[in-house]
Amino acid sequence: MTEHSQIFKATYSGVPVYEMICKGVAVMRRKSDSYLNATQILKVADFDKPQRTRILEREVQIGQHEKVQGGYGKYQGTWVPFERGKALAELYGVDKILAPILEFIKGDQSPPLAPKHATAASVKPRKPREVRVRKRTKHFDEEMSDVETSSSQNTTAHNQSHAAHDDLSPLSKRVRTRPSALREKTKLKTSQRIDPDDGNVSEDERDDDTETDTERQQEEQQELDDEFKREEMDEMSEKTYAQRLLQYFLSEKTSIPPLIARPPRDMDINVIIDDEGHTSLHWAAAMARIKAVKLLIENGADMYRVNYKGQTALMRSVLFTNNFDLKTFDSLVELLRTTIFNIDKRDQTVFHHTAAMSDWKGKIYASRYYMECLINKLKNNQSELISILNVQDINGDTALTIAAKIGNRRLIKLLIDAGASTEIANEEGMTPRDYYADMEKSVGRHPMHPSPPPMTSSPSEDTGSIINEADTREVLRARVEAMYKNVTADANANNMPSISKAFDDFAESYERDLVYREKQLEKKQIELDLYTKRLEETKRVIRSIETNEAQALIEQADNKNKQLEDRYRVWLQFYQSHHLSLLEDEFVQKEQEEKPPSPPQQATADELKALKDQLIQLKEKRRESTQKLFDLQCRVPPKQYQDYKRLISTCCNVTYGNVDLMLGPLLASFEQEQNVSSPPAI
């Protein structure tokens, strides 16, 4: 029979409920319809606020439910029918510890009041401030004593009549301290108006002083109350901002609210917005609101601010899959990169939290994605990466130790390749290598697992060839057969894995092989791109060298040709000058030997002029002929001339270089053939 001693009755916001305290959480069940508070059940299941919100939105609020937001604080939450609440408790494994309230049946005897309600009547009223005044008459003291007693009795009666509402709101629970300046001011005024007992003061004067003191005290009390009201308004304003920010992050809105885009001057951008010490930056990072994170940082949000557990916004983000779902973690790490090296109150880094996340259902792939992003962000500084990977928490565990305890092979290989040490012992004296060896022993009987990665302290690279498709199919077929035999071999074996577990192992193995092949393919593709770039660069250099060499040879040939041209020009001029000189001497000598008769003077003058003109023409003609000869001898033949030579070489079976030498004989043979073939004249 269920023990009902843990069940209490209470009334919140006018609604009677049954209540039990479980793990510090008040779990309620309404008397009228047995509705259960799903929010409280999730609290007992140790879900934090973002997780509770997600579960309520995706699993609870899609069905029949009542959402209570106003009224008494403890009564707030999402209320669901009894059967739905019981199923929710069973789903998250808290049905046994909540059995008293789930199995409670109302009997003849009513449950007792909740502890706080039962003791509410005994709560003492707050004492008024003690103000020392002059010694009053006995009559006045008795009157004040009667007033105090009456006030105490009224307060007790008031508490008894409102037992169901004895808990104060978070705002009213705060201890309101008077400002120090006002305290000093009050103290100073009190000391000024209160003097030591004076025997010369009459009874009437004392009564007048008492009345004056009372008036002054009331004025000062009013002044203090006004100051308290201003403080309370500030607190309410701050609370309003926090509530609005939290409401935004709990909603599905994608637009940025003005509170984040343009924060009011009186709002603290680092205000705590939930009961776990999280700021807006924590929530924005956890919910993958990258734009909000950027704006918060630009508006002065402290990225080093931690929650009550000492966790930064980056640490908080890896505990959820939102950044994995949206593939935004790389951008988030870039914004919060300087907090990667922070540790929380348990001396754990973001790598510890990421490794621990791989043990949570549905978060294995997210943990791998987060770990890869973190490692890639620090891969350019190997010393810093190794240093942060080997940080030990309060239990002496590194991130690799946690991954080895969990048995996530993919995460283990990733950390080892990044440089994490396998020889660091924790408080139990166990190293990551020891945990991995124990894991291999426990699963060594299952042939479906592939060979484990090497547990070395230095990064290793598998350079083996990629298995082709046929081999892959054969391996998968063998694994399926082995798995089937392993599952069906001994139906009565106690250690036989469930079919779902076997298929999970098989899927993980297949996924591991697939990831390995993709990595190898990416590696080969990178190498191919690298070699292609090198080949293109080599070709470009060769073309550049060939072009430069050809240009240099052309310039060298042009220079040599110019030198030869100048030398030939000088030689030709010398030859012509010398030849003309010889002809002139020969003509003069011949003229002297013949000595012809002198012509008439007039005829000689005319002939001289004609000869002079003829000489000028001949000189010009000789100059032109010389230039043509020079051009033919020195300049490169035109393309048409070269084509003719090539044609003659082809038709006459003569080498290209010997065409000039054979041109005379060829022309003679053509003329002879023409004469022979021409008909005789009649």
The CATH number of the domain holding residue 23 is: 3.10.260.10
- Residue 550's pLDDT is 78
Q: Are residues 293 and 351 in the same domain?
A: no
Q: Looking at 277, 309, 336, which one is the last position of a domain?
A: 336
Are residues 314 and 392 located together in one domain of the fold? no
CB 453 within 8 A of CB 423: no
Give yes or no for a contact between 269 and 280, defined as CB atoms under 8 angstroms apart: yes
Instruction: Write the single-letter amino acid at 362.
Output: G
Most confident of the ranges 13-17, 488-492, 575-579: 13-17
Q: What CATH number has the domain bearing residue 438?
A: 1.25.40.20
Last residue of one domain, picked from the residues 546, 571, 606: 546
In a domain, 514, yes or no: yes
**Do 483 and 448 fall within a single domain?**
no
Confidence of residue 489 (pLDDT cuts 50, 70, 90): low
Q: Where are the alpha helices (DSSP H) in 194-348?
A: 203-250, 258-261, 280-286, 290-298, 313-317, 322-326, 329-335
- Is 520 within the bounds of a domain? yes
Q: What digits encode the pLDDT tens for the residues 523-552?
A: 899 889 888 988 988 888 888 888 888 788
Do 377 and 327 belong to one domain? no
Does 411 share its domain with 444?
Answer: yes
For residues 546 and 147, what is the distance between their CA atoms, to the nearest angstrom?
A: 114
Q: Are residues 306 and 228 in the same domain?
A: yes
- Asked if the structure places residue 282 within a domain, the reply is yes
Mean pLDDT of 470-488: 56
On whether both 330 and 351 belong to a single domain, the answer is no
Residue 110 has pLDDT above 70, yes or no: no
Lowest mean pLDDT among 91-105, 122-136, 435-449: 122-136
pLDDT-derived band at 367 (thresholds 50, 70, 90) equals very high
> pLDDT tens digits, residue range 403-459?
999 988 889 999 999 999 999 999 999 999 988 888 877 765 444 444 434 333 333
More confident residue, 471 or 56: 56
Q: Whose CA is closest to 259, among 288, 230, 301, 231?
A: 301
Q: Where are the alpha helices (DSSP H) in 318-381?
A: 322-326, 329-335, 350-357, 364-378
**Could you tell me if residue 93 is inside a domain?**
yes
pLDDT given for residue 278 in this prediction: 93
Residues 363 and 298 in one domain: no
List, for residues 236-271, the tens digit of each pLDDT value. Answer: 444 578 888 888 888 877 788 888 888 888 888 899
Q: 332 and 351, same structural domain? A: no
353 and 307 within one domain: no
pLDDT at 391: 94
Taking the model in full, what pTM does it have? Answer: 0.38
User: What is the pLDDT, as a whole number, of residue 678?
Assistant: 57
Look at residues 440, 379, 444 and name the one whose alpha carbon lies nearest to residue 409.
440
d(CA 24, CA 52): 17
3-class DSSP state of 12: strand
Establish if 413 belongs to a structural domain.
yes
Domain hosting 404: range is: 346-460
Does residue 286 register a pLDDT over 80? yes
Are 107 and 13 contacting, i.e. CB atoms less than 8 angstroms apart?
no
Q: What is the distance between the alpha carbons of residues 551 and 286, in angstroms, rounded to a whole number?
A: 65
497 versus 148: the higher-pLDDT residue is: 497
Mean pLDDT, the chain, whole residue set: 74
Task: Tell whether 616 is covered by a domain.
Answer: no
* Cβ atoms 377, 337 nearer than 8 A: yes
61 and 112 both lie in a single domain: yes
Strand ordering across the sheet containing 36-37: 8-12, 15-22, 25-30, 36-37, 77-80, 66-68
Which of the listed residues 101, 120, 139 is the one where a domain comes to its end?
A: 120
Confirm whether 610 is domain-assigned.
Answer: no
If asked whether residues 391 and 456 sit together in one domain, one would say: yes
Three-state DSSP string of 150-186: HHHHHHHHHHHHCHHHCCCCHHHHCCCCCCHHHHHHH
- Among 12-21, 446-455, 561-570, name the one with the lowest average pLDDT: 446-455
Q: Is residue 654 part of a domain?
A: yes
Compute φ and ψ for 67, nearest 5 degrees.
Answer: -105, 115
Find residue 27's DSSP bridge partners: 20
- Mean pLDDT for 95-107 is 87
User: How many domains does the chain divide into?
Assistant: 5
| Spatial contact of 339 and 303, defined as CB atoms under 8 Å apart | yes
